[in-house]
Each structure stands twice: as structure tokens, then as C-alpha cells.
Chains A and B, each alone.
Chain A
Amino acid sequence: MSARDASRARTRQLSLFARLRESRIFQGVALISPANAYLFFFVILPLVMIVILSFLSRGAYGQVVFRFNPGNYTRLLDPVYARILVYSLGVGFGTTVITMLIGYPLAYYIARSPARQRSMLLFLILVPFWTNFVIRIYAWIMILRGGGLLDTFLQWAGLTEEPLGLLYTPTAVMIGMVYEFLPFMVLPLYTSLEKIENALLEAAADLGAPPWRAFLRVTLPLSVPGMIAGTILVFIPAMGMFVLPDLMGGAKTLLIGNVIRNQFLTARDWPFGAAASMILMVMTLALTLFYTRRAGFSEELLV
């Protein structure tokens, strides 16, 4: 009898409780329950209140009135909001693509560095992000403003004569966004890349594949989970950002995050803000689930 069969025979003889312990369903549920309970209570429940809120009305002084009002959602059909949404998607998408392009080689560099150095290198990426978010933005403002540090340097080097006028433009916003989101892309990418066994690459080399081929056929596909995690961690928050675009873009364009914030803080139309948030949430949730299901966090979809 194999060890496996012996273990199964043992299991059958155990008490119900012990058998329960062995049950894979029970183990799964036991592992996820604490997180589930916590999130249900502190996230889902409050969200249900927000859903209810999105169907209520605004009183004359910005207070919430218990009057059913589906108009909050129909208001969102106005083309203005569609434009804002598209622009926000664009910012999210652009940020994701650029951080992926910049972050992938960086993650690769760290993953292939000697093991001793790796955690240090990772730490070094995160250290600047332990300064305050707003201060980092102000450092960039100091660099990019007309007559600021970049201009001073370029003029001193004789490369330009006039100030570049980078600040308060979409370019400045992109520079800042990529800067902020780089660790969120690099970390998951690194995690994925680091797992790839050397043996696989050596086998590819042995079979005559040039390095770029080995990369395309072996490394890249295996790093896809990291790319997905990175995309989720960057695209979604980037879409909802408004502080950085406001500070570096001069607050000249509205993003969906601004609209929502305005509803809660300026227009004092909480029901409308709740409705806008619901739409944003549903969209991003759908995107996330679609992405992860397709790309294989669910094991059965793995090729």
C-alpha cells in the first residue's frame, strides 16, 4: 500500500472533526474567512449604504433627502461625463503602458541581479515612496516649472534658450504619474520574474534559442501574471487620481476623480457623487475580473 493510500485509510478512521480538518473545502473556507469577514463588515456594508445613497436626492442645502431619485444615473449620460470618463481612461491607460515599458526592464534587472542585492534594490525603489506623496510632487514642480531646475540646467548647458513651459501641461502630468506608479508595476513584475527558474532559460539556450527568442518564448509569457497584477495596481488607481493631475496639470482638466470629489466636497450633492462612484466602480471591477479570469488566475484556464 502506498503512503498515500495509507494516509487515506488513516483519514477514514478519524473522527468527524478531524475529517473536517482534512477536508479541502474546509481548509479553503477557514483560510479565507477572516479576510472575508473583515472586508464584508468594513467595506461591503458601507458600500451598500453608498448604493442606497446613490438613489436618494439632494436637499436645498446639500443634505441628503430620503426621496427616491434615479435621475442621478441618467444625469451621467450627459456627453460631458462621457468625455471626462474617456479622458480618465486615457490617463490610466497611458500611465499603465509607460510604467510597463519603463518598469519591465527595471524589474528584469533586479530579478537577474545577484540574490544578495535583490532585496536591497527593491527596497531602494520603495524608499522614496516613504516620503510624502505631495512633497514628491512639489519636487517635480520645482524641476519642471518655467525657469525651474530643468530649465536652468538646460540653459546652462546651452541646449535651450527659452523656458520649456513643461509644467501645467499633460506631459508634466504623465511624468508625475509614471513616477508615482512605477513601484506598483515593478514590484509584481519582479515577483513574477524572480520565480522563473534558471533551468528553463538554460534549457532554451541548450536548444539553440538566441537570448531574445528565449525571452519572447519563455520569460515573457511566464511573467504575464506579474504584468496583470501590475496593470491592475496601476491602471485603476491612476484612473481615479486627481491630486497629482491637479497639482502638475494646473487643474485645467477634470478627471472622474475630480468630479466625484467635487460632488462630495463642493457641490454637496452626495447622491450624485455616489452614483458616479458606482459607475466607476462597476466598470473597473468588470475590467479587473475580465482580465484576471481571461489571463488565468483561475487555474482551469491555464494553458
Chain B
Amino acid sequence: MKSHRIAGLVLPVFLLLAACAPAPAPSGVASTELNLYAWSEYVPQQLLDDFTAQTGVKVNYDTYSSNEEMLAKLQAGASGYDLVIPSDYMVAVMVKLDLLDPLDLAQITNFANIDPKFADQYYDPGNKYTVPYMWGTTAMAYHKTNAPFEPKSWADLWDPAFENKLVLLDDSREVPGMALQVLGFDKNSTNADELEQAKQKLIELKPNILLFNSDDPETPLITGEAWAGLVFNGNASLGFAEDPEIAYICPTEGCGLWFDNLAMPKGAPHPDAAMAFINHVLEPEQSVLITAEFPYSNPNAAALEYLKTNDPEAYAAYMAFAGTNPPAEFLSHAAPLKDVGDATTLYDELWTDFKGE
């Protein structure tokens, strides 16, 4: 009958399953595994392979696509991860929720490679919990020839000439933040009245919005479906690489600033491997690998020096584009998002109202 055939299939499969369960790391001595939980498409395979080749530690790279997804998993109590890469405001939240373990900077000898500008930030004074990974901006990208005119401010996007031609990040903080800035308010406002006005302003923008897209907003700009939008600097850099007509500016009202950081969740099973990995990432030869594949901004000063000497063309390109190297004027208008505590619900309701309109 078929029953014994089925049993014959199930048993080896279960054995296979059992064999796949991760082996416990030997205590004390250097671990053999590292469980990395990071943004998808953020850590180059080459970097991981080099780490394994040098230390013998196998890296398990699991991915998430938003800070909140990562937080949801960690909050539910799932540990097993040794390293995560939270953004600035998320670090503050995680520290308050006691989800991170302090780092032992003494073990991270390459920390000196970080440009001092990026160390000792407001969200983690003294770098108790984090080491900067990549940083960047959130601002306006537009297509120089497709766009009917060159926009200089967010308010320009409300122009009817952009009807059905805008791409915006699908972000319930960035988009309202943009509206708040247009109205002259603080993008981290928790004032219900200001938020209501921002919502009305956004509803006025609706006819111009072609789509919301946080994953690859540069694609509609490249295909010509969209002519301008709110994007991350990495998207702008990728778009520029494909089509030099794509420009990236910080509008007059202001734009966003963010920092991603390596951090260690509480109860990480392989803290020694985690420290070694952080040190490895800070190596100039490794750090430039990240920039090459994922063109955000690199806080590692030694890495940029390395790039200058070893690949001057890439260095020049990096320095020339505002996506990777925003000029001082750009940065002066850039401000980070802050966690707004209880007002998070207000933003969510704003977003629901706005989209459900």
C-alpha cells in the first residue's frame, strides 16, 4: 500500500531536517557562526566571504526590509541574532526598550577609521551600543529633461504640470514630514493641528502621485513613467548610474538625514564573532566593497582615502554626486527623523486617512 512508501519518504526527510538544526557554538573559544540580521541588499557577499576566509566564522545573513520589521521580531522575544543594523531613531527606541547589549569598543580597533563627524551621535552618545555603518539623506530626485521645469522646492511638486508623474517613498513619516516642511513646520512635529494641516496639504497632492514605492523608486524615473519624487540617496545614486539626467537636490524647505548602525541585540549567542565582524567591516578594503555595490554615503574616512588612492575614478564619481557626497549646503538643510513616541499613532491615522481618502 502507499502508507509504507510515504513513511519511507518522511523518515529520511525528518532526519534531514534534524541535521539542519544549527549546532550549538562551543563556549568560551571563538565561535564558528555569526547570525547577522540586516537590511536586504546591504552587505556585499564578498565582504562576508572574506570574513569567513579570514576567521573561519560562517555568516548566516537573514534580512528585513524595514526597521520596524526587525523591531517586531526582536520585541516578540526571538533572539538568536548577533548583529542588527538599526537606523538612528530606531537605536534610541531599542535602547529605551532595553533590546541592545553594549559594545566593547576596546575590541573594535578599527573604530578610529570612522570620521569623527559620525561618532558620538545624539542617538548613542559615546557609541555605547553602535558603530556607524552607512549614512545618507532623503531628498528630491528629478529627471532633468523629462521634468517640465527644474523643481527647487517641495512646493514645486504640487504644480499641476507634474500630474500623475510623482513617485514618493511609501513612508508614513517621510511623506507627511515633507508636507510639514512645506507648511513651515518641524518635520518631527507632534502637534495635532499641524498634522491635520499636513494631511490636507497631502490630499491636495494626490492627483500628482503616480505611485508610492520605497524599494526601487528610481525605476519609474529611469523608465520615464515618473519625472520627480521623494527618494533615498541610494536610489538616486542608482538612478544616476543608469541615467545621468537624474539629479538629486535638497529642496529649500529641507530634507532628511539618516544613519544606519551596527548594533548587538541583547543575548547575542556569539558576541566575540560580532565584535570581529564589526572590526572587519571597518577595514578600508571591505568598506569600499559596500559603497561599490550599494551607493549610499560612507562614514569611514579611511575607506574613502583608500578609494582615492586605489580607484580614483570611482572616488571622483563618489565625490561628484550629491547622492553619495552631499555638499555642505545640502547638509545644512538636512535633519533626521526622531521617534515621536505616542504621536506615532497620530501619524499612522494621518496616513490611513490620507490614503483612504
Give the interface of A toward B (CB within 8 A): 58, 60-63, 80-81, 83-84, 87, 145-147, 165, 167-168, 246, 250-254, 258-259, 262-269, 272
B211, B341, B352: the one contacting A262 at CB < 8 Å is: B352
Q: Closest approach, in angstroms, between the C-beta of B4 and any C-beta of chain A?
A: 19
In the bound complex, CA of A61 to CA of B348 (Å):
14
Flag if A267 contacts B223 (CB, 8 Å): no
Is B212 engaged at the interface, CB distance under 8 Å to the other chain? yes
B66, B164, B224: the one contacting A265 at CB < 8 Å is: B66
For chain B, give the interface size range: 20 to 34
In the bound complex, CA of A58 to CA of B172 (Å):
18
Nearest-neighbor residue (CB-CB) of A254 within chain B? B355
In the bound complex, CA of A159 to CA of B209 (Å):
28
A60, A246, A254, A269: the one contacting B356 at CB < 8 Å is: A254
Is B107 engaged at the interface, CB distance under 8 Å to the other chain? no
Flag if B211 contacts A168 (CB, 8 Å): yes
In the bound complex, CA of A56 to CA of B344 (Å):
17
Flag if B210 contacts A250 (CB, 8 Å): yes
Residues in chain B near residue A266, CB distance under 8 A: 66, 68, 172, 348
Is B204 engaged at the interface, CB distance under 8 Å to the other chain? no
Is B97 engaged at the interface, CB distance under 8 Å to the other chain? yes
Residues in chain B near residue A267, CB distance under 8 A: 172, 344-345, 347-348
Flag if B97 contacts A269 (CB, 8 Å): no
Give the interface of B toward A (CB within 8 A): 66, 68-69, 71-72, 75, 93, 96-97, 164, 170, 172, 206, 209-213, 223-225, 339, 341-342, 344-345, 347-349, 351-353, 355-356
Residues in chain A near residue B223, CB distance under 8 A: 145-147
In the bound complex, CA of A253 to CA of B351 (Å):
11
Residues in chain A near residue B212, CB distance under 8 A: 246, 250-252
Residues in chain A near residue B224, CB distance under 8 A: 146-147
B69, B96, B356: the one contacting A84 at CB < 8 Å is: B356
Flag if B356 contacts A252 (CB, 8 Å): no
Residues in chain B near residue A83, CB distance under 8 A: 356
Nearest-neighbor residue (CB-CB) of B66 within chain A? A265
Flag if B225 contacts A145 (CB, 8 Å): yes
Q: Closest approach, in angstroms, between the C-beta of A271 and any C-beta of chain B?
A: 11
Residues in chain B near residue A62, CB distance under 8 A: 71, 75, 93, 344
Flag if B355 contacts A63 (CB, 8 Å): no
Flag if B353 contacts A80 (CB, 8 Å): yes
B71, B96, B170, B356: the one contacting A268 at CB < 8 Å is: B71
